[in-house]
Amino acid sequence: MDRMNDTLIDVPRGLTNVVAARTELGDVRGLEGFYHYRQYSAVDLARERTFEEAWHLLLFGSLPTAVELDAFRARIAAARVVPEPVRALLPAIAGLTADGDVLAGLRMALAAVAAADRARPLYDESADERVADAIRAAAIAPVLLAALHALAEGREPLDPREELGQVAGYLYLVTGRVPTAQQEAALSAYMTAAIDHGFNASTFTARVIASTGADLASAVGGALGALSGPLHGGAPSRALDTLDEIGTPDRTDEWVRRTLAGGGRVMGFGHAVYRTEDPRSRMLRGFAEGFGGPRVDFAVQVERRVQELLAELKPGRELHTNVEFYAGVVMEACGIPRSMFTPTFAAARVVGWTAHILEQAADAKILRPSSRYVGPSAPQPLPARVRAAS
């Protein structure tokens, strides 16, 4: 609901299709199976450009020249350095998170970095200072995630390697190995495709917090909190779990029919926005097939058969693979453990969140919707106070 001339206007539950703000950062056109960052197809960017180039586009409005890209990469590398007081805190943060939940740890670690950096509210900063904060948060988030993962496994975190780009550097920190060119290209495509995707719950949360003038780390922390919810964060690992449960192609029909009859979902299929094939899934299928091997062959077979079964069992519904299905296959081929699938998504999405935070902070208008009260009628007289028995 919004208040116009003191009149409350009801809107759909979940704010579905309600325009809450204007953005120049990108859009999702679900009926067409297309989304873009500024003036470029997001999938084209993921296939043909680096993660840093797409990041520069969202932050500054243009793809960088070669000179600008070198300078931007150097700026990112400098922003990856973890302050010593935060480095000392990381073991305690890792110990506080249940079951090695590195996303919960990232919320605490980013707040600690902001405190160590003496970060100020967005309201009090210049545009250049806000950009510096945005680069800092997005550059250091993968480093913190990888460090918390290492600590959760009882290993000493590795130090970032300045010569490696954002994606290769992240893979190195998580796996302990410098990735192959194929692995870097595949993960770069996935992470670039994951940078932004419309006004989803976490992006909207980040913008609401930014609209108050709070510091940037608080807005990112709020977005991470929204992403932690099971209805939003997605589950590439669960898509791989599905492949494991099916086991062999001949068991696909039985597994799908049994799962749907029991009211379950086939993870990795269907999307809230797309009514065609998810363009991210189509792209990642190509990268997965480039790796080849039994796992990829099996995934392709399962995808084809599941879509045939869904067309039979749920006629009239467009249920194609979504980004999660092949994202899990690609990340596994790159050596990323399943526990780090959603954190890897978050490492990419921080770039999109921070771009939205900057855009919202430039507006200087707090987001403050209304609500329609539907409780008991008011005002009513207070009942007589019940006195305690003596």
Helix (H, G, I), strand (E, B) or coil at 6: coil
Asked if 25 contacts 355 with a C-beta cutoff of 8 angstroms, the reply is yes
Tokens 């510096």 correspond to: 132
Nearest to 15 by CA among 374, 367, 375: 367
Measured on CA atoms in the order 375, 376, 377, 383, is the torsion positive or negative?
Answer: negative
Active site residue 271: yes
> What is the SS3 string spanning 156-205?
CCCCCCCCCCHHHHHHHHHHCCCCCHHHHHHHHHHHHHCCCCCCCHHHHH
Q: How far apart are CA 289 and CA 277, in angstroms?
A: 17
What are the distances in angstroms from CA 36 to CA 32, 46, 192, 197, 242?
Answer: 12, 11, 11, 8, 30
Q: How far is CA 74 from CA 46, 55, 56, 128, in A?
A: 21, 14, 13, 17
Q: Which of 56, 271, 320, 356 is catalytic?
A: 271
Single out the catalytic residue among 125, 184, 324, 332: 324
Coil vs helix vs strand at 364: coil
Q: Is 156 noted as a catalytic residue in this protein?
A: no
Residues forming the active site: 271, 324
